[in-house]
Amino acid sequence: MKARKPRARIFEGLAAAVIVITVAVGTLAYNQLRTIRATAARITGDAMPSVYLMGKIQSSTLHRYALLTDRIYANNEVEKVGLDRLIEGTKSDVDDVVTRYDKLIVAPKDRQLFEALKSARGPYRESYARVLLLSRNNKRIEALQLMVFQLIPLRNAFLRAVEAELAWNKADADDAAHAIAAAVNWTFTDILIFLGVSVWVAATAYGVSSRFRVERKLW
């Protein structure tokens, strides 16, 4: 009976060690899974939609600029009317995207870049409207001069602001992806540690059990 007590205490200690390790590793793994879930939501709910919307602003801006250029060089009224219809039809495209993007902003840096984008967009829109008005009044030379010396520089400044937003959102998505990879690696490491410790505990328990069996035979 006396020999069983030390053995019982040893096995109880090993069992307690396994429980503590299991709880610790499980807690770490759970926290890492929460990180993965939150970061994945950040990618799908913010970074990816933001990149898409900025790309849409970029393409819509270039499309409207191309339509304006075609309008200035158009030589017949039918073509001009058709281009005017397309220009008016795309007028609200960027407005809608800007409104949607505004609702996604969370980070202060993102807000700062977005405000810079809006500041660059205002003068470009005004210059665009003036060039279009000159074209509609059949003042091609004046329209081209204003386009070259004012509209194009303003367009480029606006597109640089869009590029800055794109770069920031892409970097944010990359950071989130790296965070997920790190969390996965940590979880994998935790599992390996748990398995290693479990094997050590099992080997220790087997060794203790074997020793007691030998001692029992000697008794």
DSSP code, position 76: S
Q: In the prediction, which pLDDT does 140 show?
A: 94
Distance CA 52, CA 83 (A): 27
Residue spans per domain, the chain:
4-218
Distance CA 154, CA 176 (A): 33
Q: In the prediction, which pLDDT does 167 show?
A: 86
Are the beta carbons of 154 and 35 closer than 8 angstroms?
no
Q: In the prediction, which pLDDT does 166 show?
A: 87
Q: In the prediction, which pLDDT does 48 show?
A: 74
Q: Using 70 as the pLDDT threshold, list the residues of the chain that sit under it.
A: 1-26, 28-47, 173-219
CB atoms within 10 A of CB 27: 11
Are the beta carbons of 206 and 51 closer than 8 angstroms?
no
Are the beta carbons of 143 and 134 closer than 8 angstroms?
yes
The DSSP annotation for 14-30 comes to HHHHHHHHHHHHHHHHH
Distance CA 176, CA 39 (A): 6
With pLDDT > 90 as the criterion, what percentage of the chain qualifies? Answer: 39
Query: Taking the domain 4-218, which CATH number applies?
Result: 1.20.120.30
pTM over 0.75: no
Are the beta carbons of 54 and 118 closer than 8 angstroms?
no
Closest CA to 147 of 90, 48, 73, 57: 73
Distance CA 143, CA 130 (A): 8
DSSP code, position 213: H
Distance CA 206, CA 88 (A): 82
Q: In the prediction, which pLDDT does 86 show?
A: 93
Distance CA 157, CA 99 (A): 20
Query: Token match 């039918």: residue?
Result: 78
Closest CA to 187 of 176, 195, 199, 177: 195
